[in-house]
Amino acid sequence: MPRILLHACCGPCSLMPIVHLREEGWDVTVFFFNPNIHPADEWKKRRDAMLEVSVRLNVPLLEEGAPVNGGVWVRALQGVTREGERCRLCYRPRMERTASLAAELGFDAFTSSLLYSRYQHHETIMSEAERAASLNGAVFLYRDFRPWWWDGIAMSKELGIYRQKWCGCILSMKEALVQQKEAAERKAALKAERAARLAREAEERRLKKEAIAAKKALRERTGKKLPQ
Protein backbone atom coordinates (compact mmCIF):
# COMPACT_ATOMS: atom_id res chain seq x y z
CA MET A 1 0.00 0.00 0.00
CA PRO A 2 1.51 3.41 -0.96
CA ARG A 3 2.29 5.72 1.95
CA ILE A 4 1.33 9.38 2.05
CA LEU A 5 2.24 12.13 4.52
CA LEU A 6 -0.71 14.43 5.11
CA HIS A 7 0.20 17.85 6.44
CA ALA A 8 -2.67 18.75 8.78
CA CYS A 9 -3.46 22.36 9.61
CA CYS A 10 -6.01 21.28 12.25
CA GLY A 11 -8.16 18.38 13.38
CA PRO A 12 -11.45 19.24 11.64
CA CYS A 13 -9.80 19.95 8.27
CA SER A 14 -7.91 16.65 8.37
CA LEU A 15 -11.01 14.45 8.58
CA MET A 16 -12.13 14.35 4.95
CA PRO A 17 -8.58 14.11 3.55
CA ILE A 18 -7.90 11.12 5.82
CA VAL A 19 -11.19 9.44 4.91
CA HIS A 20 -10.90 9.93 1.15
CA LEU A 21 -7.19 9.21 0.86
CA ARG A 22 -7.82 5.92 2.63
CA GLU A 23 -10.67 5.17 0.24
CA GLU A 24 -8.18 5.66 -2.61
CA GLY A 25 -5.91 3.07 -1.04
CA TRP A 26 -3.33 5.29 0.65
CA ASP A 27 -1.70 4.44 3.97
CA VAL A 28 -2.04 7.85 5.67
CA THR A 29 0.27 9.37 8.26
CA VAL A 30 -0.59 12.85 9.56
CA PHE A 31 2.02 15.55 10.16
CA PHE A 32 1.16 18.48 12.47
CA PHE A 33 3.52 21.37 11.77
CA ASN A 34 1.96 24.81 12.15
CA PRO A 35 4.28 27.30 13.90
CA ASN A 36 2.21 30.28 12.68
CA ILE A 37 -0.76 29.54 14.97
CA HIS A 38 -1.29 32.29 17.55
CA PRO A 39 -1.49 32.46 20.51
CA ALA A 40 0.29 29.50 22.11
CA ASP A 41 -2.83 28.21 23.87
CA GLU A 42 -4.66 28.19 20.52
CA TRP A 43 -1.79 26.17 19.02
CA LYS A 44 -2.18 23.69 21.89
CA LYS A 45 -5.95 23.41 21.35
CA ARG A 46 -5.46 22.60 17.68
CA ARG A 47 -2.62 20.19 18.39
CA ASP A 48 -4.77 18.43 21.00
CA ALA A 49 -7.67 18.28 18.52
CA MET A 50 -5.32 16.66 16.01
CA LEU A 51 -4.23 14.14 18.65
CA GLU A 52 -7.89 13.32 19.24
CA VAL A 53 -8.51 12.79 15.52
CA SER A 54 -5.43 10.56 15.40
CA VAL A 55 -6.88 8.35 18.12
CA ARG A 56 -10.48 8.39 16.87
CA LEU A 57 -9.53 7.56 13.26
CA ASN A 58 -6.58 5.36 14.21
CA VAL A 59 -4.11 7.28 12.04
CA PRO A 60 -0.38 7.71 12.90
CA LEU A 61 0.56 11.26 13.88
CA LEU A 62 3.91 12.99 13.61
CA GLU A 63 4.32 16.32 15.37
CA GLU A 64 7.06 18.89 15.09
CA GLY A 65 7.83 22.43 16.16
CA ALA A 66 6.16 24.91 18.46
CA PRO A 67 4.25 28.16 17.97
CA VAL A 68 6.34 31.17 16.99
CA ASN A 69 5.81 34.44 18.87
CA GLY A 70 3.22 36.54 17.00
CA GLY A 71 5.45 39.61 16.84
CA VAL A 72 8.36 37.59 15.47
CA TRP A 73 6.04 36.04 12.89
CA VAL A 74 4.81 39.45 11.68
CA ARG A 75 8.34 40.89 11.47
CA ALA A 76 9.40 37.93 9.36
CA LEU A 77 6.73 38.90 6.82
CA GLN A 78 8.76 42.08 6.09
CA GLY A 79 5.70 44.23 5.53
CA VAL A 80 3.71 41.72 3.47
CA THR A 81 0.69 41.68 5.75
CA ARG A 82 -2.29 41.85 3.38
CA GLU A 83 -4.54 38.79 3.55
CA GLY A 84 -3.85 36.59 0.55
CA GLU A 85 -0.38 38.02 -0.06
CA ARG A 86 0.97 37.03 3.35
CA CYS A 87 -0.61 33.58 3.14
CA ARG A 88 1.98 32.34 0.65
CA LEU A 89 4.66 33.07 3.25
CA CYS A 90 2.62 31.05 5.72
CA TYR A 91 2.14 28.05 3.40
CA ARG A 92 5.75 27.96 2.24
CA PRO A 93 7.57 26.78 5.40
CA ARG A 94 4.86 24.22 6.12
CA MET A 95 4.96 22.75 2.61
CA GLU A 96 8.77 22.80 2.56
CA ARG A 97 9.06 20.93 5.85
CA THR A 98 6.35 18.43 4.88
CA ALA A 99 8.04 17.71 1.55
CA SER A 100 11.42 17.41 3.25
CA LEU A 101 10.10 14.99 5.85
CA ALA A 102 8.22 12.95 3.24
CA ALA A 103 11.44 12.50 1.26
CA GLU A 104 13.49 11.80 4.40
CA LEU A 105 11.11 9.09 5.65
CA GLY A 106 10.49 7.51 2.26
CA PHE A 107 6.83 8.40 1.76
CA ASP A 108 5.49 7.91 -1.74
CA ALA A 109 3.80 11.32 -1.71
CA PHE A 110 2.61 14.18 0.47
CA THR A 111 -0.41 16.49 0.48
CA SER A 112 -2.17 18.92 2.82
CA SER A 113 -5.48 19.37 4.59
CA LEU A 114 -5.24 23.03 3.60
CA LEU A 115 -6.71 21.86 0.29
CA TYR A 116 -9.95 21.05 2.14
CA SER A 117 -10.75 24.56 3.33
CA ARG A 118 -12.95 26.89 1.31
CA TYR A 119 -11.30 29.81 3.08
CA GLN A 120 -7.72 29.08 2.03
CA HIS A 121 -6.04 30.21 -1.20
CA HIS A 122 -6.20 26.95 -3.11
CA GLU A 123 -4.02 27.82 -6.11
CA THR A 124 -1.32 29.29 -3.87
CA ILE A 125 -1.22 26.14 -1.74
CA MET A 126 -0.83 24.05 -4.88
CA SER A 127 2.03 26.15 -6.23
CA GLU A 128 3.86 26.16 -2.89
CA ALA A 129 3.45 22.40 -2.50
CA GLU A 130 4.74 21.80 -6.04
CA ARG A 131 7.68 24.11 -5.37
CA ALA A 132 8.49 22.30 -2.12
CA ALA A 133 8.26 18.93 -3.85
CA SER A 134 10.71 20.05 -6.53
CA LEU A 135 13.17 21.42 -3.97
CA ASN A 136 13.13 18.27 -1.84
CA GLY A 137 12.78 15.49 -4.37
CA ALA A 138 9.35 14.55 -3.07
CA VAL A 139 6.03 13.85 -4.83
CA PHE A 140 3.09 16.16 -4.22
CA LEU A 141 -0.33 14.55 -4.57
CA TYR A 142 -2.91 17.18 -5.50
CA ARG A 143 -6.46 16.56 -4.35
CA ASP A 144 -9.33 19.03 -4.09
CA PHE A 145 -11.06 18.04 -0.85
CA ARG A 146 -13.46 21.02 -0.87
CA PRO A 147 -16.46 19.08 -2.28
CA TRP A 148 -16.65 17.31 1.10
CA TRP A 149 -16.72 20.59 3.07
CA TRP A 150 -20.09 20.02 4.73
CA ASP A 151 -19.34 16.34 5.35
CA GLY A 152 -16.22 17.39 7.26
CA ILE A 153 -18.13 19.92 9.34
CA ALA A 154 -20.79 17.35 10.21
CA MET A 155 -18.18 14.74 11.13
CA SER A 156 -16.17 17.15 13.30
CA LYS A 157 -19.32 18.11 15.20
CA GLU A 158 -20.34 14.49 15.58
CA LEU A 159 -16.92 13.63 17.02
CA GLY A 160 -16.88 16.77 19.18
CA ILE A 161 -13.57 18.00 17.71
CA TYR A 162 -12.49 21.54 18.64
CA ARG A 163 -13.30 23.96 15.82
CA GLN A 164 -11.20 27.13 15.64
CA LYS A 165 -12.58 30.60 14.96
CA TRP A 166 -9.77 31.99 12.79
CA CYS A 167 -7.20 30.81 10.27
CA GLY A 168 -4.14 30.75 12.49
CA CYS A 169 -1.72 33.68 12.60
CA ILE A 170 -1.98 36.74 14.82
CA LEU A 171 -3.12 38.88 11.88
CA SER A 172 -5.94 36.52 10.96
CA MET A 173 -6.96 36.43 14.62
CA LYS A 174 -7.23 40.24 14.73
CA GLU A 175 -9.13 40.29 11.44
CA ALA A 176 -11.52 37.62 12.73
CA LEU A 177 -12.14 39.61 15.93
CA VAL A 178 -12.96 42.71 13.86
CA GLN A 179 -15.30 40.68 11.64
CA GLN A 180 -16.97 39.13 14.68
CA LYS A 181 -17.45 42.59 16.21
CA GLU A 182 -18.92 43.94 12.97
CA ALA A 183 -21.21 40.92 12.68
CA ALA A 184 -22.36 41.39 16.27
CA GLU A 185 -23.04 45.10 15.60
CA ARG A 186 -25.03 44.24 12.46
CA LYS A 187 -27.01 41.65 14.40
CA ALA A 188 -27.71 44.15 17.18
CA ALA A 189 -28.78 46.78 14.64
CA LEU A 190 -31.15 44.33 12.93
CA LYS A 191 -32.55 43.29 16.31
CA ALA A 192 -33.13 46.92 17.29
CA GLU A 193 -34.73 47.64 13.90
CA ARG A 194 -37.05 44.65 14.29
CA ALA A 195 -37.96 45.69 17.83
CA ALA A 196 -38.75 49.22 16.64
CA ARG A 197 -40.87 47.88 13.77
CA LEU A 198 -42.81 45.58 16.08
CA ALA A 199 -43.35 48.47 18.50
CA ARG A 200 -44.68 50.67 15.67
CA GLU A 201 -47.00 47.90 14.48
CA ALA A 202 -48.23 47.31 18.02
CA GLU A 203 -48.91 51.04 18.44
CA GLU A 204 -50.78 51.17 15.12
CA ARG A 205 -52.94 48.22 16.20
CA ARG A 206 -53.62 49.91 19.55
CA LEU A 207 -54.63 53.19 17.91
CA LYS A 208 -56.86 51.36 15.40
CA LYS A 209 -58.49 49.40 18.20
CA GLU A 210 -59.10 52.59 20.19
CA ALA A 211 -60.59 54.31 17.11
CA ILE A 212 -62.99 51.39 16.54
CA ALA A 213 -63.95 51.42 20.22
CA ALA A 214 -64.53 55.19 20.12
CA LYS A 215 -66.80 54.88 17.06
CA LYS A 216 -68.75 52.10 18.69
CA ALA A 217 -69.20 54.14 21.87
CA LEU A 218 -70.36 57.17 19.90
CA ARG A 219 -72.84 55.07 17.92
CA GLU A 220 -74.27 53.63 21.10
CA ARG A 221 -74.66 57.11 22.57
CA THR A 222 -76.26 58.70 19.51
CA GLY A 223 -78.08 55.71 18.07
CA LYS A 224 -76.73 56.65 14.66
CA LYS A 225 -74.93 54.33 12.30
CA LEU A 226 -71.56 55.83 11.61
CA PRO A 227 -69.47 55.15 8.49
CA GLN A 228 -66.89 52.40 8.94
Number of helices (H) and strands (E) in the chain: give both, helices first: 7, 4
What span, in angstroms and rounded, lies between the C-alpha atoms of 114 and 125?
7
Strands 27-32 and 61-63: parallel
Mean pLDDT, each 10-residue run in order, the chain (228 residues):
96 97 98 91 94 97 88 76 83 96 98 96 96 98 97 96 84 76 79 88 88 81 62
- In this prediction, residue 227 carries a pLDDT of 56
- Name, in order, each residue with C-beta under 8 angstroms of 39's C-beta and a sequence gap of 6 or more: 67, 70, 170, 173
- In this prediction, residue 153 carries a pLDDT of 96
Q: Tell me, which fold does domain 3-168 have in CATH?
A: Rossmann fold (3.40.50)
Q: Taking a C-beta distance cutoff of 8 angstroms, is the pair 170, 38 a contact?
A: yes
Closest to 31 (Cα-Cα) out of 117, 116, 95, 118: 95
**Greatest Cα pair distance in the chain:** 102
Q: What are the residue boundaries of the structural domains of the chain, listed by start?
A: 3-168, 169-228
- In this prediction, residue 223 carries a pLDDT of 66
